[in-house]
């Protein structure tokens, strides 16, 4: 008999998640029958999307969801949604996160100029190490508008959106004509109890003929095999680096999840069971 | 010697345009020289876009801009931006206007279900006459959300956006997965002195993988010849009807412009000089 631990969503999150929203359960697994296998998880992942998805896909009492798709998300956002071209300028926010850091590096591999925003000086240093052309700490600048203008006075062709909220309003105003915005996430909005509001983007979208598209990585599942192969090659050649923020202990998963939502991680937040 | 009249933008509009923003000027035109022709305008046009464009393209003292492109705008918004397919459901707002009424009719020609919103019972009756499947007066309904749900309980594949503001926030929430939004105009926003705000659409855009694209009719100029031919054929065959709201007298052009911004017209607002 094997003992398994699971984290249950005890109740739906209201506002920022709290310890009491989670419950650790232990269950006895029966011996695998003929034709069955029993797997042991060695590493697990916590991701921003788990916060909004829990509301849509889960009921209170369900085992918490979890998958790991950050690198493919970055690739498809750039290639399929933005259709980014060499020589173009990309803006990425939450750029030191699992998706943003990979998106920026892939855009560099494609011959683009990359500007990244992150929430600490340590993260900004990491982005520069990863080859970002420009990076800034959005928490310490005096004006986001000025920071974006200084980083790319000519504006932005593509914008990999992970944050939403006021950041997006300022960024949209600095897109070039025919700019493309891949809406991958909106981490600044996930814990709202009432929806945050901002200026309607219609006039910018019309005058500059901007395209804004939300996406889920699952849309291009048929491309995963080829995509993973391509990215593995980049990693083996040292062209693509992935940092991991490791939390030790299955018991610490909720803490790791909440820490990730607060931006405490650089790169992918994973849990070593 | 010929006397010509022009309307000058005396000063940039602040909020809703007013009579004193315009100035009528009379000038003497010299006799045409060899190789020159002198044209007399018989009909002129006032269009919503003139309000936001004046700020971007004009200086105080310039002669007011004006062109007539409503039908092509409707066609390209549906075909190029939405890539609408037979059997899909389209939502159009400002549907009794020059662009909206044509967009709805073209979508019907393409075998779609069409839902239109307009600002008077007379306009709603006109939409039904034009073959719209569902139409409602947004000024007299108790809930836009309910009206949109009743008109198409299964949601919307495409949304031809002419209005912006709170209407768009309610509509975006009722798009189907992979819905496309052609952002053609935002008439509810044009006269704002400070930008109107609404909830950020990120979560709807991500979960439903929505595409939202702003556009200007000039992008597809290379298609105009073929497009105009196609639409003329529809008109000759009685499949496409275009209503005109005629104001008589060049002197009344500012009044016609302001009336159009207030939604007083059904169909294209034109001026018989």
The helix, strand and coil proportions of chain B, stated in percent and rounded to the nearest 5, come to: 35, 25, 40
Region of poorest pLDDT, from A27-41, B101-115, B168-182, B244-258: A27-41
Of all residues in chain B, the percent with pLDDT exceeding 70 is 100
Contact B260, B47 (CB under 8 A): yes
**What are B137's two structure tokens?**
């007066």
In this structure, what are the phi and psi dihedrals at residue B262, rounded to the nearest 5 degrees? -85, -5
- B200 and A52 within 8 Å at the Cβ level: the answer is no
Q: Kindly report the number of other CB atoms within 10 A of residue A39's CB atom.
A: 6
Q: Assign B160 to helix, strand or coil.
A: strand
In this structure, what are the phi and psi dihedrals at residue B4, rounded to the nearest 5 degrees? -120, 145
Predicted ipTM of the assembly: 0.94
Per CATH, the homologous superfamily of domain A70-222+228-234 is NAD(P)-binding Rossmann-like Domain (3.40.50.720)
- How high is the pLDDT of residue B1? 75
Distance CA A168, CA B21 (A): 34
For the domain spanning B2-67+243-272, the CATH number is 3.90.180.10
Residue indicated by tokens 């990425």: A92
- B212 and A208 within 8 Å at the Cβ level: the answer is no
Q: Assign B261 to helix, strand or coil.
A: helix
Q: Which of B52, B189, B203 sits opposite A200 (nearest CB)?
A: B189
Parallel, antiparallel or unpaired: strands B134-137 and B197-199 = unpaired
**Class of residue A243 by CB neighbours under 10 A (exposed 0-12, middle 13-18, buried 19+):** middle
The pLDDT tens digits for A56-65 are 889 999 998 8
Q: Which residues of A touch B198 (CB under 8 A)?
A: 197-198, 200
For chain B, the domains span 2-67+243-272, 70-222+228-234
Q: What angle do CA B51, B53, B59 make, to 5 degrees?
A: 100
Q: Which residues of A touch B202 (CB under 8 A)?
A: 161, 164, 168, 183, 185-186, 189, 214
pTM: 0.94
Q: Assign B121 to helix, strand or coil.
A: helix
The pLDDT tens digits for A8-51 are 999 999 999 999 999 999 999 988 999 999 999 899 999 999 99
């Amino acid at each position: 008999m094997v003992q398994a631990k699971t984290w249950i969503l005890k109740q739906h999150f209201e506002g920022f998640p709290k310890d009491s929203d989670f419950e650790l359960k232990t269950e006895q697994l029966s011996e695998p029958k003929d034709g069955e296998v029993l797997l042991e998880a060695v590493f697990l992942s916590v991701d921003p999307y788990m916060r909004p998805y829990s509301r849509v896909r889960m009921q209170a009492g369900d085992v918490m969801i979890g998958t790991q798709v950050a690198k493919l998300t970055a690739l498809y956002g750039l290639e399929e949604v933005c259709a980014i071209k060499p020589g173009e300028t990309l803006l990425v926010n939450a750029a030191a996160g699992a998706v943003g850091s990979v998106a920026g590096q892939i855009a560099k591999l494609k011959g683009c100029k990359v500007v990244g925003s992150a929430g600490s000086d340590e993260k900004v240093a990491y982005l520069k190490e990863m080859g970002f052309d420009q990076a800034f700490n959005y928490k310490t600048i005096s004006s986001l508008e000025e920071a974006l203008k200084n980083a790319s006075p000519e504006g932005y062709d593509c914008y990999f959106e992970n944050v939403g909220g006021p950041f997006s309003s300022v960024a949209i105003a600095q897109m070039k004509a025919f700019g493309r915005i891949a809406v991958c996430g909106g981490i600044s909005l996930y814990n709202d109890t009432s929806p945050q509001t901002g200026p309607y983007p219609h006039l910018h979208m019309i005058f500059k003929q901007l395209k804004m598209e939300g996406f889920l990585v699952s849309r291009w599942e048929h491309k995963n095999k080829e995509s993973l192969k391509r990215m593995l090659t980049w990693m083996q050649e040292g062209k693509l680096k992935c940092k991991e923020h490791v939390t030790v202990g299955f018991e610490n998963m909720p803490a790791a999840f909440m820490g990730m939502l607060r931006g405490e991680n650089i790169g992918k937040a994973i849990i070593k069971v």
